[in-house]
Amino acid sequence: MDEALIEQAKHYAEEQGKSLSQVVADYLTALTLPIETQPLTPATQSLLGIMKDNPADESDYKQRLEDKYL
């Protein structure tokens, strides 16, 4: 394995307050989880349902781009 990659991984683990083994274990655990059970990031979570009451389609998007750039 590339030594530079190992050093980067060690640095990342240290920044996260974890051992490199724990970072690898967390990653492998995440890989094996079905997508629907993986936790959402706070940013993604905040976007859930944002368009529920205001559906938009491709023509809305195109119109927005025309208004903005033309």
Render pLDDT for 17-47 as a digit per residue (tens, 0 to 9): 999 999 999 999 988 888 777 788 899 999 8
**Rounded to 10 degrees, what is the CA torsion of 43, 48, 53, 59?**
70
Cα angle value 45/47/50 (rounded, 5°): 135
Domain of 19 in residue numbering reads as 1-39
| Number of separate domains in the chain | 1
Longest dimension (CA), the chain: 53
pTM of the model: 0.49
13 found inside a domain: yes
| Token output for 59 | 């023509």
Residue 47 lies in a domain: no
Percent residues over pLDDT 90 in the chain: 53
What is the spatial distance between Cα 55 and Cα 70, in angstroms, rounded to a whole number? Answer: 24
Residue 48 belongs to a domain = no
Residue 9 lies in a domain: yes
pLDDT of residue 50: 84
